[in-house]
Amino acid sequence: MGKLIRKAVAIMCIFMMVISTVTFVEAVDTNGKITVTNVKPGETYKIFKILTLESYDNDKRTYSYIRNGDDWDGFINSSAAQNYIKTNNDGYVTFKDDQNNEVGARNFGLLAMEYANKHNISATAAEKASDTKVVFENLPLGYYLVETSAGTACSIDTTHPEVEIRDKHASPSVTKFIANGGTITNNKKRNSANRGDNIFFETIINVKPYVKNYVLHDYMDPNLKYSHVLVDGIAYYSNEKNESLKRKSLLRDTDFIATKDTNDGCNFHLTFTESFYDKYQADIDSGALTQIYIKYLGVLSDDAPIDTPLVNTSYLTYGENSKTEESKTETFTYSIPVFKYTGYNTALAGAKFILSKDPNPTEDNALKFVQSGSNYDYNKKGNVTLTSYDDGKINIKGIQADTYYLKEIEAPKGYNLIKTPIKIVVTSDTDGKGVVKVDNDVVDQVKVLNNYGSLLPSTGGMGTTLIYAIGSILVLSSGIVLFLKRRNK
């Protein structure tokens, strides 16, 4: 009897364990959870339930997906989707063998996102990222697409019951260069220019698939005056700029709009129109169109400071609240300090020079300047003559790095003219500041020595007077002798 009771108790315990286990599994599997990591704060993350997970065995890695019975059924039944998935006679959906991989899932997700945007399908849930992750809870089990407001489909995965998705967002970027104007470094990130010169800047926007709402922001140092008139854009179908490859000229006010009046201190904002996205989004999404070049003009002011980096900055905003890193260039302008002297560093005023880039300087090829005391500011509307001031100085300002020739065209009265031009090389140091060289030596100032002339003896002076005097004496002496002889007789 005791044995029968013990057997009955054992059977009841086993039965209760089975019931308990089954009940526990069902409770867990009724709701799912998606955690998105590596999110971009400020962006909105949306999830879309594309398929319903009817049942699964995680250990055996077997899953049964069926249609939702909602707007997504149209996508599942579409010929585009059927390139990736197949549906059997009982309505169960599986991936095709050759697409059952990460690349296939990625492309299928991008296709689904495009369908959702085109057909205005509402998201199952949406959350704005304020931290490093976004969590969606109490979700019906299914196959979910995750999209960001930046326009990228970061992942597609199954809730079974929980899944963690890392946002592998494809971030656009910008790179700024100096395209033309003055003397430009090899990396095109720095140049030196004459005051008043035009400088053409170029910003490259590296576009990414399924990203929209691009806005290019650009702001310049106040001494770089932005010209609103000259803004040009080209779309390049390559990873690097290559004139021989396919390109399309973008139309201002049709494909993009450059707005000068901004509220964030920028010189201009450049936004792309719906017409642009209609024409080029498919090529961007396919990876054919990768870069957009925006070229525009700045003018170096007539009073730009010497040896000071004048910075031009670009960055891109996109999506809902995303921003790229800034890309910058630096523009400099330089000076040549000249000291005119005589004797032992005695200042000499009134010496006149011209400065030219030609080894044979003339007034026709000389640079022009506007004088203010001992300062001569480069100005195309000025004068060519540089005259040493009372302190012997000629401070030439506002020129680019280059080779120059300083020629004296008139020496002060009584001083010898220097006929051989002085070769001066202006370069820059590692910080971009100006360096002046004469005979390959770095100098603080170009020192120009003038020697004065001395009074030379005159070949027709004392010699003639002496002859006349001696002759007169001889004539007088002869007359006296002749007179005395006659008297004695």
Q: Are residues 230 and 177 in the same domain?
A: yes
Domain contains 464: no
What is the distance between the alpha carbons of residues 20 and 12, in angstroms, rounded to a whole number?
Answer: 12
What is the distance between the alpha carbons of residues 341 and 393, in angstroms, rounded to a whole number?
Answer: 9
What would the two tokens of residue 352 be? 């006149």
Q: Are residues 201 and 108 in the same domain?
A: no
Most trustworthy range by pLDDT among 224-233, 313-322, 430-439, 478-487: 430-439
Q: Are 396 and 306 in contact (CB under 8 A)?
A: no
Handedness of CA 351, 355, 358, 363 (dihedral sign): negative
In this predicted structure, the answer to whether residue 417 has a pLDDT above a threshold of 90 is yes
Domain contains 474: no
User: Cα 468 vs. chain centroid, distance in angstroms?
Assistant: 88
pLDDT at 473: 72
User: Cα 120 vs. chain centroid, distance in angstroms?
Assistant: 37
Total domains in the fold of the chain: 3
In this predicted structure, the answer to whether residue 26 has a pLDDT above a threshold of 60 is no
Of the residues 134, 166, 198, the one at which a domain ends: 166
In this predicted structure, the answer to whether residue 232 has a pLDDT above a threshold of 50 is yes
Please report, rounded to a whole number, the percentage of residues in the chain having pLDDT higher than 90. Answer: 52
91: exposed, middle or buried (C-beta count within 10 Å: 0-12, 13-18, 19+)?
exposed
Q: Are residues 203 and 71 in the same domain?
A: no
Q: In sequence order, which residues have a C-beta less than 8 Å from that of residue 40 and are 6 or more positions away?
A: 129, 148, 150, 167, 169, 319, 321, 322
What is the distance between the alpha carbons of residues 378 and 380, in angstroms, rounded to a whole number?
Answer: 7
Domain contains 433: yes
What is the distance between the alpha carbons of residues 184 and 84, in angstroms, rounded to a whole number?
Answer: 51
Tens digits of residue pLDDT in 249-282: 898 889 999 888 788 889 899 999 999 999 998 8
Tell me, what amino acid is at 152?
T
Residue 346's SS3 state is: strand
What would the two tokens of residue 112 be? 């689904």
Tens digits of residue pLDDT in 97-115: 998 888 888 888 888 888 9
Strand partners, 37: 133, 166
Q: Average of pLDDT values for 301-328?
A: 92
pLDDT at 16: 35
Least confident of 11-20, 170-179, 362-371, 435-444: 11-20
Q: Are residues 183 and 321 in the same domain?
A: yes
Domain contains 455: no
Q: Average of pLDDT values for 413-431?
A: 94
Mean pLDDT of the chain: 84
Q: Are residues 154 and 194 in the same domain?
A: no
Strand-strand pairing, 327-332 and 190-192: parallel
The whole-model pTM stands at 0.72
Predicted confidence band of residue 484 (pLDDT cuts 50, 70, 90): low
In this predicted structure, the answer to whether residue 20 has a pLDDT above a threshold of 60 is no
Q: Are 324 and 315 in contact (CB under 8 A)?
A: yes
In this predicted structure, the answer to whether residue 227 has a pLDDT above a threshold of 80 is no
Residue 197's SS3 state is: coil
Domain contains 375: yes
Residue 186: which CATH number? 2.60.40.740
pLDDT at 226: 87
Please report, rounded to a whole number, the percentage of residues in the chain having pLDDT higher than 70. Answer: 82
What would the two tokens of residue 178 be? 């100096």
| Enclosing domain of residue 118 | 29-166
Q: Are residues 141 and 194 in the same domain?
A: no
How far are the Cα atoms of 38, 123, 135, 187 from residue 130, in angstroms, in the given order? Answer: 12, 19, 11, 38
What is the distance between the alpha carbons of residues 270 and 199, in angstroms, rounded to a whole number?
Answer: 19
Strand-strand pairing, 402-410 and 352-356: antiparallel
Q: How many residues does the chain have?
A: 489
Q: Are 33 and 157 in contact (CB under 8 A)?
A: no
Of the residues 144, 166, 188, the one at which a domain ends: 166
Tell me, what amino acid is at 409?
I
Q: Are residues 96 and 183 in the same domain?
A: no
Tens digits of residue pLDDT in 374-410: 999 999 999 999 999 999 999 999 999 999 999 999 9
Q: Are residues 396 and 436 in the same domain?
A: yes
In this predicted structure, the answer to whether residue 19 has a pLDDT above a threshold of 50 is no
Q: In sequence order, which residues have a C-beta less than 8 Å from that of residue 122 and are 6 or more positions away?
A: none
In this predicted structure, the answer to whether residue 47 has a pLDDT above a threshold of 70 is yes
pLDDT at 27: 29
How far are the Cα atoms of 113, 281, 282, 284 from residue 209, in angstroms, in the given order? Answer: 12, 8, 9, 5
Q: Are residues 92 and 188 in the same domain?
A: no
pLDDT at 22: 28
Of the residues 115, 150, 166, the one at which a domain ends: 166
Q: Are residues 281 and 211 in the same domain?
A: yes
pLDDT at 14: 32
Q: Average of pLDDT values for 440-465?
A: 72
Domain contains 70: yes
What would the two tokens of residue 26 be? 């069902």
Residue 393: which CATH number? 2.60.40.10
Domain contains 14: no
Q: Are residues 283 and 354 in the same domain?
A: no
Q: Are residues 188 and 304 in the same domain?
A: yes
Domain contains 412: yes
Strand partners, 46: 126, 147
Decide which of 190 and 344 is more confident. 190
Measured from the Cβ of residue 485, the count of other Cβ atoms closer than 10 Å reads 9
In this predicted structure, the answer to whether residue 240 has a pLDDT above a threshold of 60 is no
Q: Average of pLDDT values for 50-57?
A: 90
Least confident of 2-11, 146-155, 281-290, 325-334: 2-11
